[in-house]
Amino acid sequence: MNVLILGGTGEARQLAAALHGRPGYAVTSSLAGRVAIPLLPDGEVRFGGFGSVGGLVAWLREHRTDVVVDATHPFAAQMTAHAVAATAAVELPLLVLRRDGWTAGPGDRWHRVPDAAAAAEVLPDLGERVFLTTGGGGLGGYAALDRLWFLLRAVDPPSPPLPRRCHVLLDRGPFTLEAERALLDEHRIDVVVTRDSGGALTAAKLVAAHELGLPVVLLDRPPAPTAPTVTTVADAMRWCAQALGPGSG
Ligand code: NAP
């Protein structure tokens, strides 16, 4: 069974590692090619966009794909929409593997907002020194907040326009609680802005913010796709085994 995993996440790499070499599976992972030095999954890997829905349809046909697992980041909404449309067009099964979002606990001071524009609106009331970890794009909405200072953390250099007063920190998780505490302390952060990515690898900043009593502005996920969805790699494995047929588990 030819499996295409749309990747770029830890879960996608775990799924590729789990399926790679199993009898009956030929796995190809697809990476957008944005990150300069990507973490590579086991098995075949292809890089770069497909060329919208039409390009993905052509790729699926050419490579005789049997099933597609969209294990992209919860905020990679365009790739997910293309996967839904392309698999519908060629009548292939699609599974979405998407980790759960984060849930606030007692004492958390979270402000959920729908997007960056809404985050920029609430920020001035919450503090002056902002730790912004929402990825390297879409930062223009914060550019007009001249009174605030930003610590921007991203994997690759963020694209302008950037806030006027900012320091860019290039780093990739996982981040430890100790390191996140030290970072908030060193930069005298008042408020954290992040996306509801979910998962353990980048959750330490939320714990550190909680410990310090800092408010967190949390950008909501894009709407969930209309496709069968699981939240764990184990469930994705079970779905693939079912798709492969009896006796394959
Ligand atoms: P996006 O906005 O949903 O996608 C934009 C375009 O990039 C897609 O239309 C597609 O181009 C191409 N693309 C995206 N993911 C791809 C993949 N896995 N394989 C091949 N092409 C892909 O995506 P994004 O938010 O820029 O994220 C890009 C990649 O980084 C994703 O693989 C995602 O899992 C990973 N990632 C994203 C984030 C995030 O914050 N968004 C965080 C961690 C990892 P075509 O239309 O030409 O096919």
Identify the pLDDT of residue 46. 97
- Between 3 and 156, the higher pLDDT residue: 3
Q: Which of 3, 70, 72, 87 to mutate to test the pocket of ligand 1 (most atoms within 8 A of CB)?
A: 72
70 three-state secondary structure: strand
**What integer pLDDT is reported at residue 249 of this predicted model?**
54
Ligand 1 atom, smallest distance to 55 CA: 48
Q: d(Cα 32, Cα 47) in Å, to the nearest integer?
A: 6
Q: Give the residue whose CA is nearest to atom 45 of ligand 1.
A: 49
Name every residue whose Cβ is closer than 8 Å to that of residue 183 and which is 6 or more positions away in sequence. 131, 151, 169, 189, 208
Residues framing ligand 1 (Cβ under 6 A): 6-9, 30-32, 34, 49-52, 55-56, 72-73, 75-79, 82, 135
* Cβ proximity of 220 and 114 under 8 Å: yes
Nearest CA to ligand 1 atom 37: 73
pLDDT for position 247: 61
pLDDT tens per residue, range 56-110: 999 999 999 999 999 999 999 999 999 999 999 999 999 999 999 999 999 999 9
Q: Which alpha helices (DSSP H) does 75-195 contain, by range?
A: 77-89, 116-122, 177-186
DSSP secondary structure letter of residue 39: P
Give nearest CA residue, ligand 1 atom 35: 8
Average pLDDT of 110-115? 96
From residue 171, give the alpha-carbon distance in Å to each of 137, 139, 153, 155, 247. 15, 17, 7, 5, 44
CA of 76 to the centre of ligand 1 (A): 5
Atom 10 of ligand 1, nearest CA residue: 49
86 φ/ψ angles, rounded to the nearest 5 degrees: -70, -40
> Ligand 1 test: best mutation among 46, 79, 194, most atoms within 8 Å of CB?
79
Q: What is the mean pLDDT of residues 99-125?
A: 96
Dist CA 178 CA 205 (whole Å):
10
Cβ contacts of 195 within 8 Å, gap of 6 or more? 74, 75, 133, 134, 135, 218, 219, 221
Q: What is the mean pLDDT of residues 28-35?
A: 93
State the amino acid at position 148 in one-letter form. L
d(CA 212, CA 4): 43
- Do 216 and 110 meet the contact criterion of CB atoms below 8 Å apart? yes
Report yes or no: 111 and 126 within 8 Å, Cβ to Cβ: yes
What pLDDT, on a 0 to 100 scale, did the predictor assign at position 135? 85
Is 210 strand, coil or helix? helix
Beta carbons of 71 and 12 less than 8 angstroms apart = yes
219 SS3 class: strand
Q: Are 126 and 144 in contact (CB under 8 A)?
A: no
pTM of the prediction?
A: 0.92
For ligand 1, atom 27, the nearest C-alpha belongs to: 76
* DSSP conformation class of 125: G
